[in-house]
Structure 1
Amino acid sequence: MRNRIAVAITAVMAAGALAGCSGGADPEAAPSRTVLVPGSPGEPNETKVAGPREAAPPTTAEVVFVQMMIPHHAQALEMSALAPDRASDERVRSLASRIDTAQKVEIAAMRSWLERNPKAVLKAHGRNHGAHTTGMPGMATPPQIEQLRDARGAAFDELYLTLMITHHQGAITMVKDVLGKGTDVTVQEMARDVESTQLAEIGRMRALLAD
């Protein structure tokens, strides 16, 4: 009899786990549940937690990364928006267009993530007092942006590529500061995507400068 009960409990737990996986929901966000475990002869039954527990909250490092990356990306958009009217090399215009499209999507995703995690944002703000939005690596200075606005043709191409390489390198520095230092799957994936994409773009831009 006890063996039949144990087998039945095991089957219920397995079915519940499969249902959680097949529904397309995030397993980290699934609620934990309790199951009845028969006790030894003469002892009461017990309840134990089965299934995934609630995901750990995002870390301050992850919140800071997302908050910093939004204005960092915004400057890349500002620089790339100048390319259609100023660049002479079609490859530079094409690269700028890809950067513009990709980083607009990433900014939207980052803003959405911040909206979904107000408690983590508030906690991070209390620890950093807003200072984390200054001193971002790789950012072009106002005079450099003005110089880029004034440039045309090959001069624009060279300056855009030079500034954007530095800009991307700064983003990768920010990625290294957050990778492996957090618990949020979404932010860790964002960071890895930024790293892989921008490393590839740095390679293309260096090739264009050397051409």
Structure 2
Amino acid sequence: MTSSTRSLVRRAALAATAVTAALVLAACGSGEDSAGGARTSSPASAERTAGAHNDADVSFAQGMIPHHQQAVLMARTAATRASSAEVKDLASRIEKAQDPEIETMSGWLESWGAKVPSAMPGMDHSGHGDMPGMMDGQDMNKLAKASGADFDRMFLTMMVEHHEGAVEMATTEKANGRYAPARKTADDIITAQNAEIEEMNKLLGKS
């Protein structure tokens, strides 16, 4: 083989090596970009999936917030007007459970760009009369004026109805909702409030 032929072979081999290296680097770069893209988009995709919600989720949060707000208002009234230690303890537990849920659901609605119900409503709840278990303004006024054993009985009777309404709303969310945290909250509401309904019925002497 002549020196010129050998030189051509070497140049061809070097060119082939360069092309191969370039292809490898391109492939690696593409892989890194792809992996990087996966790292960037994967959580976003997961977030989109986890954050997927529907109209039922929005309705659940927008309805349950004022529903919880009324329960909290009733519970706070019990702190000063109830005579039974059991009723006061129950009211305290209701407030502690439902206040954080109000904050959580308000956060969902904000993140979805949906309207958040106003802060703690006053005693007039006539605007929510079509919501299961909600007391109207007259009921709330009667409760606010009651005290002692009369308050205890009225509070328990109203709260049983109120809880039954919440369980109904939560059951609808579990059946129709899409947002996993909302469905989990609905499940928690069903479990906790059914237990409290049983507890309140016992205090009322119904079971």
Distance 1:54 1:108, change over 3 A: closer
The equivalent residue for 2:146 is 151
Aligned residue runs from structure 1 range 69-88, under 5 A: 69-88=64-83
Count of residues in Structure 1 that have an aligned counterpart in Structure 2: 156
- How far does the alpha carbon of each residue in 1:24-80 deviate from its partner, in whole angstroms, 9 at most, with x for none? xxxxx7245xxxxxxxxxxxxxxxxxxx69417301011000000000001001111
Shift of the alpha carbon at 1:183? 2.0
Q: What is the aligned counterpart of 1:177 among 172, 177, 180?
A: 172
What is the Cα deviation at residue 133 of structure 1? 6.0
The one-letter amino acid paired with 2:146 is A
Match of 1:200 in 2: 195
The Cα RMSD (Å) is 2.3
Which of 159, 166, 182 does residue 164 from structure 1 map onto?
A: 159
Distance 1:54 1:87 in 2: 47
2:19 corresponds in structure 1 to none
Percentage identity across paired residues of the two chains: 38
What residue number does 1:65 align with? 60
More helix by share: 2
Residue matched to 1:23: none
Partner of 2:101 in structure 1?
A: 106
* TM-score, normalised via structure 1 length: 0.68
Post-superposition shift, 1:175? 1.1
* Cα gap change, 1:60 to 1:83, in 2 (>3 Å): same
Q: What CA distance in whole angstroms lies between the structure 1 residues aligned with 2:150 and 2:62?
A: 33
Shift of 1:182: 2.4
Distance 2:106 2:47 in 1: 26
TM-score by length of 2: 0.69
Q: Which residue of 1 aligns with 2:4?
A: none
Distance 1:89 1:115 in 2: 39
Structure with a larger share of its residues in strand:
1
Query: Any gaps of 5 or more consecutive residues in structure 2?
Result: 1-30, 116-126
Deviations 1:188-211 (A, max 9, x none): 111111111101110110011118
Q: Which of these two proteins has the greater Rg computed from alpha carbons? A: 2
Cα distance in 2 for residues equivalent to 1:204 and 1:155: 18
The equivalences for 1:108-127 within 5 A come to 108-118=103-113, 121=114
What letter is aligned with 1:178? Answer: E
Matched to 2:155, the amino acid is Y
Contact 1:161–1:209 (CA<8 Å) still a contact in 2?
A: yes
In structure 2, relative to structure 1, the CA distance for the partners of 1:133 and 1:149 (3 Å cut) is: closer
1:30 is aligned to: 43
Change (3 A) 1:117 1:173: same
Structure 1 runs not aligned, ≥5 long: 1-11, 21-28, 33-51, 123-131
